[in-house]
Structure 1
Amino acid sequence: MASWLKTGAHLRWYADHEWNDYPVSLPAGEAHTSYAAVSGAEVTLQVRLASPELQTDVQQVYEAEIAIMPSSEAASIRGIQLVWPIDPALKCVWKPHLSPFENMAVGDRLFRSPAIIFESERKMTALVPNIDAIEQLRVLPHIMDYTESNHSLMYGLCDYEETGHVYHKLAPERTSAAQPLSFRFYLAEWIKPENGRDKDYRPVERLLWELFAAKRMPLEDERLVVNALKPYTDYAYGWAFERWGDVTWQQFRLNGEEVGGVAFIVCARQKPGGGQEQAWREPKSLWNQAWFCGLRTAYGYALWGRSGGCEDWAAKAELALNFALSAPQTEGLFPGYYQAGEDNEWESGRWYMSGPRRPPGHEDDVHLLDSSWTCYWLLKWYRDVRADERILPFVRRYVNRLLSLQLDNGSFPAWVEPTTSQSSPYLLESPEASMHIMLLCLLNEIEPNAAYIQASQRTANRVLEQVVAAGRWEDFETYWSCSKQWEGKQYGQLDSRSGLYNQCNFGMYWTAEAFKDLYTATGSEHWLDAGEQVLAEASLYQQIWQPSYFPVPTVGGFGVMNSDDEWNDARQSLFALTYLDYYLLTGRESYLARSLWAMKASFYMMYCPLNPAVKAMYERVHKQFNEHDFGFHMENFNHHDGTPVDGLGEFTIFDWGCGAASSSLAEFELTLNRAAAKQVEMPFIS
């Protein structure tokens, strides 16, 4: 039996409105079978070594199968858990979701790339649900969890319900089964290499790829994928600029200059001609923020407009550039959020230093993450679209101020008062600092300066030590978005039941990008290796299968954090580019496959004929929708804000939906063209 599981295993069986414990004998050996008679059923537990082909990357892999046979036709199964004590030397370092209270678990609606991972100084181990088995038979939902108080691992079957924002509470009274059931999972073990880093999940990521993902995410011709996705961009821009243009496209004069952009958030009820065009869900506004970045999406319609000869798209993109550059700088720092006045007129509006996704009392502070992201896209515009003479002076002023704010330990504050440079106490050690590395490396590519790389390496070392090694992926989204703080979820505090931090994978994106960029700038393999470590952890949020209980396509898409449960989130269009770059640097074909599927997933939630199942769902939920609305694009699936029907929400955000995906597709094609020009060998393009 797997050496990291200790004696004392037991079955938990739900009967008579409570959970009851039954001991289970688990003798040592490479294969064995145990039997237990519990209330109303016979339970068979089989454990055996997995097939030899799985041994290439692991020290040991066992497969466990639990079969439950009701002893009579009247018997019903409402819940069963197999609970194992864990080797005391092992510490839980990863699970897909937190379950802060008793009677909670990680439900299978969070099984994207499912695993619970442990490590000691010399060993890494993991429980991995058998996705193949769940696909074949799911009469009751699957659950798993780790509890620090008794240092035990659990896998089983039980219904559950969503509670809070968002956790899974066991609900065994809701559903029962009176038929034979089974569930299967793997138990894997690796010996860590000498001088290996903690929390290096590459072995687990490779096992998940080998077991499940490779056959569900096959490698395809990248040019054919891009060409197949291009029609989505026509729907996106046709919706934003034409069919809904009177609501979405905003154009006005700011400080005497013509500017423009697509309104931040638009709801289905605002369909033109319906009489609710001005019924804004949130204040009418334009953003250049880490999520909702009008400049990033304008980069996309600038490139598509140029390549497709669509002068209107290119002209609108220039107006979005004007808007970004119109932000007033205070010794380099600048706002990223412009809100219309109370009368919904732009002329009565004003700039705000930070968008509303921030801690209380930070209204007058600049969020450096947003500013660096905006400057990063200004530099991409300068490099890829047009070398506008205003861009470099604007970015230089900001970067000079940014470098003056670098802390002695190499990190950067998150929020800063622009006049006094007073720093917020929040996120002083966070992966948001990685965004500044991305900006400095790109500026160094355009204007080489050793100081940029020196500052970047100081920051990267700090992020590697304080964030990656600690699994502390906290950023603004973790606590100050829709999944907010509450008594069981507080900034900087470990989850009481698992000993893990609340985390969001956006920081993994910035950090994987930053380490990759440092490798390109310095040639140091150290940074490429660190980047692949971070990318492996991010990959645990990628959806590697199609659950039958989700009515929308899922393969290749991304979740968000370990205290929220969206699927198909818009960040997948950013990860698509990260995987592509790592493929070009390493030649590892699974990165290319992950990239292509993430790019395809970026358009899964668009309302259009190319997505028939999703189209039908939109028309059930929003009965007024028809061809006039093709291109409307919810930012993800299963968004919990009180408005979704059957998992489908009421709003769209062009800059975190179809516009963002179209921009990534433009950059994806540009990257392929550059790789071909450099004669980088690819599976389908030489």
Structure 2
Amino acid sequence: MALFYWSVFAQEQISVPHNFSKALEHMQYDRMGDEKGKRSVRIIDRNTLHVKLTFSLDQLLRQDDWQLTLKPAFTPSFHWSPHLTPTDNHVIDQHVFRSPALIIADKDQVLALIPDLSVMQRGTPVRWYLDLSTETNTLTLGMSDSRVADHVLFERTEGAEYPAGKVEIGFYLLHYTDEGSIVNPFRKPLDFIWSNWGREAYRAGNPIRGDLEPYIEHTYDWAFKNWKESVWQEFEVEGRKVGAPAFIVNVTQSPNYPGEVNEREFRSVWNQAWFSSLRSASGLYRYARRTGNEELMKKARLTKELALSFPQLNGFFYGLIGTEMHEVEIDGRKYNRSKGWDTHYWGNSNRNPYTWNPRESPFHILDMSWTGLLMLRWYDELEKDIRLLDFAENYAKSLLKTQYPNGFFPAWLSLDKLEPMEHLNDSPETSLSVTFLLKLHELTGKQEYKEAALKAMEAVIREVIPTGRWEDFETYWSCSRYGSQDLVGKKVLRNNMHKQNNFSMFWTAEALYECYRTTSNRKYLRSGQRTLDELLMTQASWQPPYMFVNVLGGFGVLNADGEWNDSRESLFAELILQYGKLLNNREYIERGFAALKASFVMMYCPENPLTQVQWEKVYPFFGEKDYGFTMENYGHGGRTSSEGEGMGEFTIYDWGNGAAAEAYNRILDKFGEIEQ
């Protein structure tokens, strides 16, 4: 016989210890059926409280929702949570518990709620969730079933069942009043989570133990031998021989696939903020130089030639080269195929507010500044090809003319008039141009680049960082379109948070690091560390039992999406290590190497036994020739399962295995060794 409780539950109070009375007005929780439960309130130190509730059920209980609610004793001006909950029915499902915390603050204090991950690691009968409401000024830890809504938010649903036996739930409260915590409310929660769960998992070999060199070999064997027919593209542009791996390939292009090839997107090569063939080629160059592989060196240089082939219009230049596509019919079924590189055209990323057509997509300053920065780094660190410096400086001269009086750079420029368009003209995308201009200043000594960069940096410090307005092209115009019609520039009122993307946190933390390196002004370092720590709140700091591959060190993306182990971690890793070295911070060093290692976790190969099992459950035809195949992330749709849900079906070389290999080769060159 089961007990049913659908809507109204009796509630119990938890006494607030005296040393937390300034922070908390009250704590209360629902009974579980008729069970009051046993309460354990432990004062760990004057800043840390642990609360655990234990219920003993003598029969199956069906209870749709269970909540523990905290009411602060102050009115916060700052709120942070891992995910958006725009209505009372939305929840922050445990799927996005990467570094889970609810953080609130005013000018005098910071309060953070962190779920007890040790309880979660033992397994829970019902999914946990968090919620933060500014309307009621409450923090909530709960248990409920949920469903994925939009892409990707979570809504509470009916149907939660608790089997007979013991049910535990718990959390930690952190309360601080020191100035450092108020300035940077993320630092101590991050340290707490890593110290209690991340460090032990990292030292035990999560996400990867041992030498990463086999993963590099798998990557290049996959791209340039086993999958070469589909991946490597070599052609001519106006008589110049060029080459690069294709933007994207899928499982139908495997040499082991039993059916016909069906290309997922238009065949192309990109030099864009995500998918940068030039970035991947710089890693291939480093590897070829280290191993004396002339064939791979030739391929790296062909990709450099392709980047230099992109036509410039008054200094501005395109972000991709694509081919015409068509459908072919075989045995009554239609398949997407390329017409070949003789049909090539220039275009820009179609992840924008204006059009899905790459031919019609506007110039994106972010993409151009990133490619320009990579050209300067190639010139500085790999080979003194003056064409790279000239190309980048030609762009920079035009870039300076677009800077607004307030310091920001616009986001998109129209194809016809090269004039700013209407979206994101005061966004943290500006930060990447800061890093580009500072690098150009470093190489040329020209002051105008430094002056423009620092002016732009001040704008981001003033207008973006204090409110967490981490809006960029990916925030609204990639796969997660929630809010693209009505939220740009606005907060979700119930959470007092913007829709956020960690990509712009990275660009800003990197730009601030470079500003500090250029000027020695510690204000940039302080803002940089705060931004880095906000970025690290999106990094996995533990290993949940409901993730079926290793995830420690990997990154999510948005506070409205579901990814784990996203390929951006390979891009982020060096910056985390740089801050760790500069600040002599062991946590950052471990997090940086964990991020690098996590970028190889989704690779299909025998070195990743957990991942290999998941791949073969979804694609049983996979075999040795597929070693190196790497999906860009895990659990993107908001759910995972032991049967392979969350694994995906494609590889983007420049945002997957090729990008990860580039990060390894770059960090190995700059740091001398990779921590094992």
Under a length normalisation based on structure 1, what TM-score does the superposition of the two structures give? Answer: 0.90
1:245 corresponds to 2:245:
no
Q: Does 1:596 align with 2:618?
A: no
Of 502, 507, 511 in structure 2, the residue corresponding to residue 514 of structure 1 is 511
* 1:408 counterpart residue number: 405
Matched residue, 1:131:
117
Conservation of the 8 A alpha-carbon contact between 2:39 and 2:53: yes
1:442 CA displacement: 1.4
Question: Hey, what does 2:567 align to over in structure 1?
Answer: 570
The separation in 2 between residues aligned to 1:375 and 1:457, in whole angstroms, is 18
Partner of residue 139, structure 2:
153
CA distance in 2, matches of 1:110, 1:17: 26
Query: After superposition, what is the alpha-carbon deviation per residue over 1:569-611, rounded to whole angstroms, capped at 9, x for unaligned?
Result: 0011111101111122121111111111111101000001110
Q: Which secondary structure state, in structure 2, belongs to the residue aligned with residue 187 of structure 1?
A: strand
Structure-2 residue corresponding to 1:386:
383
- Partners of 2:664 and 2:265 in 1: how far apart? 28
After superposition, the Cα gap between the structure-2 partners of 1:137 and 1:613, relative to the gap in structure 1 and judged at 3 Å, is closer
Question: Which residue pairs with 2:296 in the alignment?
Answer: 313
Q: CA deviation at 1:401?
A: 0.5
Contact 2:12 2:36 in 1 (8 A): no
Distance 1:429 1:21 in 2: 49
Instruction: Determine whether 1:370 maps to 2:364.
Output: no
Letter of the 2:288 partner, please give it. Answer: G
The CA deviation string for residues 200-234 of structure 1, in whole angstroms up to 9 with x for no partner, is: 422322232333323233499xxx97x70011011
**C-alpha displacement of 1:77:** 4.8
State whether residues 40 and 75 of structure 1, in contact with CA within 8 Å, keep that contact through their aligned partners in structure 2. Answer: no
Q: Is the 8 A contact 2:63 2:160 kept in 1?
A: no
Higher deviation after alignment, 40-49 or 15-24: 15-24
- Contact in 2 for aligned 1:260/1:319 (Cα 8 Å): yes
AA at the equivalent of 1:205: L
1:499 counterpart residue number: 496
Counterpart mapping for 1:209-608 below 5 A: 209-218=194-203, 228-272=211-255, 274=257, 278-342=261-325, 344=338, 345-352=340-347, 354-361=348-355, 363-417=360-414, 420-486=417-483, 490-608=487-605
Distance 1:38 1:520, change over 3 A: closer
What is residue 670 of structure 1 aligned with on the other side? 669
Aligned counterparts of 2:460 and 2:449: Cα–Cα separation in 1: 16
- Is this contact kept in 2: 1:489–1:495, CA < 8 A? no
Contact 1:373 1:435 in 2 (8 A): yes
**Which of 91, 106, 111 is residue 105 of structure 1 equivalent to?**
91
Kindly indicate whether the alpha-carbon contact (under 8 Å) linking 2:62 and 2:161 is maintained by their aligned counterparts in 1: no
In 2, the alpha carbon distance for the partners of 1:254 and 1:643 equals 44
Amino acid in the other structure paired with 1:437: V
> Offset at 1:44?
3.0
Question: What is the match of residue 203 of structure 1?
Answer: 188
Supply the distance in 1 between the matched residues of 2:365 and 2:296 (Cα, whole angstroms).
30
Distance 2:48 2:98 in 1: 21
CA contact (8 A) 1:468 1:534 kept: yes
The answer to whether the Cα contact below 8 Å between 1:654 and 1:660 also exists between their aligned partners in 2 is: yes
Identical amino acids, percent of aligned pairs: 33
Output the CA distance in 2 between the equivalents of 1:490 and 1:360: 16
Gaps of 5+ in 2: 21-25, 327-337
Q: Is the 8 A contact 1:247 1:272 kept in 2?
A: no
1:95 is aligned, of 81, 100, 103, to: 81
* Structure 2 match to 1:63: 50
Alpha-carbon deviation of 1:653?
0.4
Q: Assess, with a 3 A threshold, how the Cα gap between structure 1 residues 627 and 79 changes in structure 2: closer, same or farther.
A: same
1:177 corresponds to: 163
1:639 is aligned to 2:636 = yes
TM-score (norm 2): 0.91
Distance 1:332 1:143, change over 3 A: same
- Counterpart Cα distance in 1 of 2:37 and 2:638: 41
Q: Cα gap change, 1:45/1:103 in structure 2, threshold over 3 Å: closer, same or farther? A: farther
1:513: how far off? Answer: 0.7
Q: Which moved more, 1:142-151 or 1:531-540?
A: 142-151
CA 1:252–1:33 in 2, change beyond 3 Å: closer, same or farther? Answer: closer
* Count of aligned pairs: 652
SS at match of 1:126: strand
Deviations 1:308-328 (A, max 9, x none): 111111101111001111110
CA apart distance, 1:404: 0.8
Whether the 8 Å CA contact 1:643–1:650 is kept in 2: the answer is: no
Whether the 8 Å contact between 2:111 and 2:175 is mirrored in structure 1 is: yes
* More displaced 10-residue stretch of structure 1: 500-509 or 149-158: 149-158
Tell me if structure 2 keeps the 8 A contact 1:91–1:119.
yes
Contact 1:261 1:294 in 2 (8 A): yes
CA distance in 1, matches of 2:29, 2:529: 43
2:548–2:640: 8 Å Cα contact kept in structure 1?
A: no
CA shift digits 1:597-656 (9 cap, x unpaired) = 111101000001110111111111112110011110000001239999511101110000
SS at match of 2:467: coil
1:39 matches 2:16: no
Question: Cα offset for 1:178?
Answer: 2.5
Contact preservation (8 Å) 2:438, 2:514? yes
Secondary structure at the aligned position of 1:637 is classed as coil
CA contact (8 A) 2:60 2:161 kept: no
Note the aligned Cα RMSD (angstroms). Answer: 2.8
Distance 1:592 1:114 in 2: 21
- The amino acid of 1:233's aligned partner reads I
Contact preservation (8 Å) 1:159, 1:174: yes
The code of the aligned residue for 2:226 comes to R
**CA apart distance, 1:28:** 4.9
Match of 2:172 in 1: 186
Distance in 2 of aligned mates of 1:486 and 1:30: 41
Amino acid paired to 1:649: G
Gaps of 5+ in 1: 1-13, 677-681
